[in-house]
Structure 1
Amino acid sequence: MRHTTTDTDIDRGDWPDAVTPWGDAAWRTAAEAFTAEGLAAHGLRPAGKRTARLRPWSVLVRIPTDDGSRVWFKANPPASRFEAGLALVLDRRVPGRVLRPLAVDAGRGWSLLPDGGPVLADVLAGADAGEATRVWEEILPLYAQVQQTLTGHTAELTAAGLPEARTAALPALFERLLAENAVHLDTAERARLEAARPLIEGASAELAALGIADTLDHSDLQDAQILRPEPGRYTFFDWGDSSVTHPFCSLLVTSRIFRRRHGDATLPRLRDAYLEPWTGPGRTPAELRRGLDLALRLAALTRAVAWGRLFPGNAEAGAAPGERPAAARWLLRVLDATRR
């Protein structure tokens, strides 16, 4: 759904009634001042009509500039406000793998970002399984290297506000999610989840024993969250769902989406490409694959908590009318035995 004002084209997508700060004229004035000041610091000025993409989880404004390029203003809601400050840490620690912000207001959760080129989803539109597999085999080792670099800097990540879902704390997180989502579960589902407690505890303990430290997990790693400005070069962005947890949790969304589009046949190649940088003394490929299987189950918990914090107590939490909230649906996926 779109409508146009004199200087901004409004895109509300499937959320025509979503309440966002955009409706507050004072907020828009402040955001425009932040944008103008951020651009001026780089010798730029806004030029031309903007497009505001309004969603329950963010306000994103595309702004043409007087040099013929474009920049992006992003405002996060309170639950993912950390993304603005996190951008500064990521640019400092893994430069070149993330967007370098032009300006940041961490307190308000505002970022002004450069255009990073085409989204990978557009680049791969129409690609067959072979081509998609080849590209992801390039991407996943690079992403693993980002995670490894950040392993020693988790204190900086959490100081920026990044939530924690530490591997050792996942059983406690499971209990919290079970309590928070009880109203959305029927009797049989609650019983199955309660019976899964030993499974969750055992999986968390075994995964921790693998000896790979917690680090940054994007939590929504897919081709819509990666930019590909040129062949072989990839930029990771959109960190609003992320947390500090076991790194292997990152492949849950990647695997699910790849399977849906291209089937299972080449998924082992993707997973081996991701795991290869984690090999080392005392870790066999079989142990790493076993760890990944455990993480893919437990990652449903981190996905559930991401949805829950973005939509606390909100029936619209990623659900169609009459459908249970996404947090409850993700919680139930810890029971899924399919882990290839």
Structure 2
Amino acid sequence: MEDVADWIKTWTEDNWRAEVLAWIDMACEAYSIERIGPLQNGSSSIRAVHRRVPTASGLLYFKAVAPGQLFEPPVSAVAAALVPERLVMPLAINPERGWMLSPDYGATLDELATTPLMWARALGALGELQREVVDCEEALFDAGLQILDPARIPDEFNNALTLHASLPAGHPLGITTRDADHAFAAFKDIEEACAQLSAGAIPLSLEHGSFDRRRVFAPTDESNAPRILNLGDAHWAHPFASLARPVERMQIDFRTSADDPRIIQAIGAYLGAWSDYGSPDELYELVAPAIRISPLHTHETWLQLLAEADEPTMLRWAPMVLEPLASLASATA
């Protein structure tokens, strides 16, 4: 398994699988749940490995995260305790090993027809979640959630470019001085976007980081709120940055541009959750600057993910760290 991260190799070892199974069985026993079959393979990536757990009470889901995202299980548990109707509460977590066992809530919204109404419902659920946790910064920070305040992002952008440009020649995450200067051309634009966000009415909250319809369970009862999952890319930041991926995805889904009325309608459903801070028309002015700085959130996520990676892994995945910085410069050009 050449050029594979050390933690991915661990996920394939018999000893690791045996330890996982023992931990799952212990968690199931605590809930009087009977496992009725072997673990079933789910998706795997550099970020996490997933396994389905068949039980007499239905499927459970096991997730092991990469070392750079060990915060996800405790943050998920704390956030779900704060808003139990909005998130998936893990049945058990092992914070030291990055393990999480969660119940099944059925189909996610991406398994249903792609419609403007479905996107509006997904974004409305996200906005409601973020609105409900605006006063929970301390609890989520203590659980391990990183803060990315727009007021500090310009300096962090400058520091990131300095870091990458100062790495030795040939380092997977290194960039040339010329590339750093090219990216720095976006500094004024980023500074203006951050100033607009800092001066705006919306407080910092749980910025999801990778939100789309796959991250939302469709409730079986229409009176219940959709549950949101997967906080591995989350930050405590300007919440509107969470719109970056949905807007991009909707443009693909509907084969259209960002100003399409269907996309505007879905964004309106999201902004409606923030109605006590202003009307959708007033708050819409903050959408573009939040999306503008969202690549810096992505950069921080991948930089943290690769912090413990070996050189071959860094070499393979370095573009995921560097491309967000390049995209900022491209948007300015």
User: TM exceeds 0.5?
Assistant: yes
Deviation at 1:209, TM superposition (A): 0.5
Q: Aligned ranges for residues 227-246 of structure 1 at < 5 Å?
A: 227-230=217-220, 232=222, 233-246=225-238
Deviation at 1:49, TM superposition (A): 3.3
Aligned counterpart in structure 2 of residue 329 of structure 1, from 320, 323, 331: 323
Aligned counterpart in structure 2 of residue 43 of structure 1, from 19, 32, 37: 32
Look up the SS of the partner of 2:32 in the other structure.
Answer: coil
Deviation at 1:88, TM superposition (A): 1.6
Aligned counterpart in structure 2 of residue 258 of structure 1, from 242, 250, 254: 250
Look up the equivalent residue of 1:47 and give its one-letter code: I
My pick for the range that moved more, 48-57 or 198-207, is 48-57
Deviation at 1:153, TM superposition (A): 0.6
Look up the equivalent residue of 1:61 and give its one-letter code: R
Q: Could you say if the C-alpha distance between residues 22 and 315 of structure 1 is closer, same or farther in structure 2, counting changes exceeding 3 Å?
A: closer
Q: Could you say if the C-alpha distance between residues 228 and 181 of structure 1 is closer, same or farther in structure 2, counting changes exceeding 3 Å?
A: farther
Structure 2: stretches of 5+ with no match in the other structure = 166-172
Deviation at 1:58, TM superposition (A): 1.0
Aligned counterpart in structure 1 of residue 293 of structure 2, from 288, 294, 298: 298
- Report the Cα distance in structure 2 between the residues aligned to 1:293 and 1:151, rounded to whole angstroms: 21
- Offset from partner CA, 1:89-147 (integer Å, 9 cap, x none): 122111121112111122222111011211222223xx3xxxx2111212222211111
Confirm or deny: 8 A CA contact 2:62 2:101 kept in the other structure: yes
Look up the SS of the partner of 1:178 in the other structure.
Answer: helix
Structure 1: stretches of 5+ with no match in the other structure = 1-11
The corresponding residue for 1:269 is: 265
The corresponding residue for 2:156 is: 173
Q: Please give the root-mean-square deviation of Cα atoms over the aligned residues, in Å.
A: 2.6
Deviation at 1:285, TM superposition (A): 4.1
- Report the Cα distance in structure 2 between the residues aligned to 1:272 and 1:134, rounded to whole angstroms: 12
- Offset from partner CA, 1:182-216 (integer Å, 9 cap, x none): 46656664333212222212211121100321111
Deviation at 1:249, TM superposition (A): 0.5
Aligned counterpart in structure 1 of residue 305 of structure 2, from 293, 306, 310: 310
Look up the equivalent residue of 1:333 and give its one-letter code: S
The corresponding residue for 2:15 is: 26
Deviation at 1:334, TM superposition (A): 2.3
- Report the Cα distance in structure 2 between the residues aligned to 1:292 and 1:59, rounded to whole angstroms: 33
- Report the Cα distance in structure 2 between the residues aligned to 1:234 and 1:144, rounded to whole angstroms: 12
Confirm or deny: 8 A CA contact 2:122 2:213 kept in the other structure: no
The corresponding residue for 1:8 is: none
Q: Aligned ranges for residues 1-340 of structure 1 at < 5 Å?
A: 17=4, 19=6, 20=8, 21-53=10-42, 54-67=44-57, 69-124=58-113, 127=114, 132-182=115-165, 185=175, 189-230=179-220, 232=222, 233-262=225-254, 263-264=256-257, 265=260, 266-280=262-276, 283=278, 285-312=280-307, 316=313, 325-335=319-329, 337=331
Q: Which has the higher contact order (CA 8 A, sep 6+)?
A: 2
Q: Could you say if the C-alpha distance between residues 44 and 163 of structure 1 is closer, same or farther in structure 2, counting changes exceeding 3 Å?
A: same
Deviation at 1:279, TM superposition (A): 3.1
Confirm or deny: 8 A CA contact 1:88 1:100 kept in the other structure: yes
Look up the SS of the partner of 1:104 in the other structure.
Answer: strand
Q: Could you say if the C-alpha distance between residues 78 and 17 of structure 1 is closer, same or farther in structure 2, counting changes exceeding 3 Å?
A: closer
- Report the Cα distance in structure 2 between the residues aligned to 1:187 and 1:287, rounded to whole angstroms: 40
Confirm or deny: 8 A CA contact 1:83 1:240 kept in the other structure: yes
Q: Could you say if the C-alpha distance between residues 25 and 319 of structure 1 is closer, same or farther in structure 2, counting changes exceeding 3 Å?
A: closer
The count of residues paired between Structure 1 and Structure 2 equals: 314
Q: Could you say if the C-alpha distance between residues 71 and 135 of structure 1 is closer, same or farther in structure 2, counting changes exceeding 3 Å?
A: same
Look up the equivalent residue of 1:150 and give its one-letter code: V
Deviation at 1:173, TM superposition (A): 2.0
**TM-score of the superposed pair, with normalisation by structure 2:** 0.85
Counting aligned pairs with the same residue, the percent is: 25
- Report the Cα distance in structure 2 between the residues aligned to 1:308 and 1:70, rounded to whole angstroms: 34
- Report the Cα distance in structure 2 between the residues aligned to 1:196 and 1:148, rounded to whole angstroms: 30
Confirm or deny: 8 A CA contact 1:317 1:327 kept in the other structure: no
- Offset from partner CA, 1:34-81 (integer Å, 9 cap, x none): 1001111111122123223432111211111123x1111111122111
Deviation at 1:16, TM superposition (A): 9.4
